[in-house]
Amino acid sequence: MHSRRTVLTTAAAAACAMSTGGGVVHAATSGSRATGAASRNRVARLISRMSLEEKVGQLFVMRVYGHSATDPEPADAEANRKEMGVSNAAELVAKYHLGGIIYFGWAHNTREPHQIADLSNGIQRAANAQRVPVPLLISTDQEHGIVARVGAPATLFPGAMALGAGRSREDARTAGRIAGEELYAMGIRQDYAPVADVNVNAANPVIGVRSFGSDPKTVSRMVTAQVRGYQSAGVAATAKHFPGHGDTDTDSHVGLPTIRHTAEEWERLDAPPFRAAIEADIDSIMTAHIVVPAFDPSGDPATLSHPILTGILRERLGYDGVVVTDSLGMEGVRTKYGDDRVPVLALKAGVDQLLNPPNIAVAFTSVLNAVRTGELTERAIDEKLLRILRLKERRGLFDEPYTTHRAVDRAVGTRRHLATADRVADRTTTLLVNEGGLLPLSRRAHRRLLVVGADPASPSGTGGPPTKVLAETFDQLGYTATAFSTGTAPTREQIGQAVVALEQRDAVVVATYNVTATSSQRALVDALLATGKPVVQLAVRNPYDIAHLPGVRAGLAAYSWTDVELRAAARVIASRRDPEGKLPVPVMRADAPGTVLYPVGYGLSY
């Protein structure tokens, strides 16, 4: 790591000298297919040939609507024209000389693996057609668990907190490696994962199960494993959200959170996973739209804070890789400044890549004007550009920007990968309550099962709904199961229907989703318990539900409602697998939030 940091710093200085009329770029390759003088010369030639507009364009990573780079559906073409003034991805790349594209399910980029590969190839062809051809860094948020932009038939692994419950660094690394292999085969070379936030706040509305847990050492070990897994497969990993989003009670998508940690608390709680990621030679780190008064009393979010991004991340932690913003369309970064100022302030703070600004024309023009007026120097732009180009070099994009259907078929959703995901998931389900040995459910005494409860919308392509997946799995395991969705806010009528349905069944499995003191899910569970039939509660998101359900005799945590985790939970309930997961976060008492009900590391077995 230290040698790479030194060489990159030297290379940045050389690039700066070159941009003002002299010098040669010196850059090391780490993990790239091209090495030595050829690599250095390629980067030098590229930078020397670029206009200011082309350099600025490389700093932007944008969304685009459509399944095709040149021929999107009419509605997607219209959305592109409305938001970006172009019809398709190829036109967007040509107009703004983009450095990257981010894929989303809601933007219709990720229908199925072959289509994704074709889209990636089309985007790279558009980049290759430019005056100065530079391959694009195509990215997505494939955290697994509750955040997965690429769905089945790609392999889907348990999310971070589930992996934290499994406690296996080897499983975390394997999940990263396989996910990376599949993304690579579809032309995606940067994953905005892993989450390095330490979730110490049970009320955190945006991180929660996306974190590996509440213990900084454990999170650090898992982050290291995932970074090495992803990057061993040729995909850039991204630790997020610096300087740490784990102790917020506001969602930065809709507001501007404040972290009240002191400098000492930050060093103890938040810093270790990011230090670990840097030691693992991570390619990129994503910023958080959060205010940290201990480091910057100005009220600026970290994304726009020079003291945080340059003073702490660059200088104190010694990181000289790519820094990418969280989405610039999020409210947290737009609260204090307008969309024209945010990109400029982010670059001045220490950012390299500007992710998904709401208005690319405004953002692009603002950065150009900032350079032309001297607020930003071209030398600073060249430093950022060098980091981005070196990352592309490390990930083989200058040599192999394209992919093939054959590569997809050989890597994506293979039988071996799917079986590995199931084995990893089998080590994550956590048994919290089992009074009287109610679990496992006997196929003789509890053959007829009712599955009720929450059916939250599943991440794109990840399956569901949960009650249906659970019922189908129980059927495959020798039970006769019926699914009945009551949602996350069951009505009195739905609760009554569930009670009536249970009359003809031997037991019920109820899926709960973020139960609170006022949640009607409590009324559902109480009504089911009142029937006297065996009730098994399964938390399908945060593991804290059990604290609000004191009458439950059998309760488990699955940490997500994606198919792979639901199937694993069903196997545990049916005694096909022993519960191996241990809590990666504490569960506090609902009536005394300062008192631990179940500590970190707690988990029953059969």
SS3 313: helix
Dihedral pair phi/psi, residue 331, rounded to 5°: -65, -30
CB 324 within 8 A of CB 238: yes
Q: Is residue 326 annotated as a catalytic residue, yes or no?
A: yes
Q: What is the 3-state secondary structure (H, E, C) of 509-553?
A: EEEECCCCCCCHHHHHHHHHHHCCCCEEEEECCCHHHHHHCCCCC
Q: How far apart are CA 170 and CA 156, in angstroms?
A: 17
Q: What is the distance, to the nearest Å, from the Cα of residue 99 to the centroid of all Cα atoms in its chain?
A: 20
Encoding tokens for residue 343?
A: 């990109």
Q: Is residue 526 annotated as a catalytic residue, yes or no?
A: no
**Residue in 284, 215, 293 with CA at minimum distance from that of residue 256:** 293
CB 538 within 8 A of CB 558: yes
Annotated catalytic residue, options 118, 326, 455, 506: 326
CB 64 within 8 A of CB 92: yes
Annotated catalytic residue, options 26, 253, 339, 340: 253
Rg for the chain (alpha carbons), in Å? 25
Q: What is the distance, to the nearest Å, from the Cα of residue 588 to the centroid of all Cα atoms in its chain?
A: 26
Instruction: Tell me whether strands 137-140 and 322-324 are parallel, antiparallel or unpaired.
Output: unpaired
Burial 488-513 (b: 16+ CB within 10 A, else e): bebeeebbeebbeebeebbbbbbbbb
CB 449 within 8 A of CB 416: no
Q: Transcribe 55-76 into DSSP letters.
A: HHHTTEEE---SSSSS---HHH
Beta bridge partners of 537: 510, 555
Q: Transcribe 444-493 into DSSP letters.
A: TTS-EEEEEE--PPPPTTS---HHHHHHHHHHHTT-EEEEEE--SS--HH
Encoding tokens for residue 512?
A: 């709960």
Q: Give me the sheet containing 60-62, strands edge to edge.
A: 190-191, 137-140, 100-103, 60-62, 354-355
Beta bridge partners of 240: 195
Q: How far apart are CA 471 and CA 441, in angstroms?
A: 14
* 409 CB-contact burial (10 Å; exposed 0-12 / middle 13-18 / buried 19+): middle
Indicate the DSSP class of residue 427: T
Q: Which residues are catalytic?
A: 253, 326
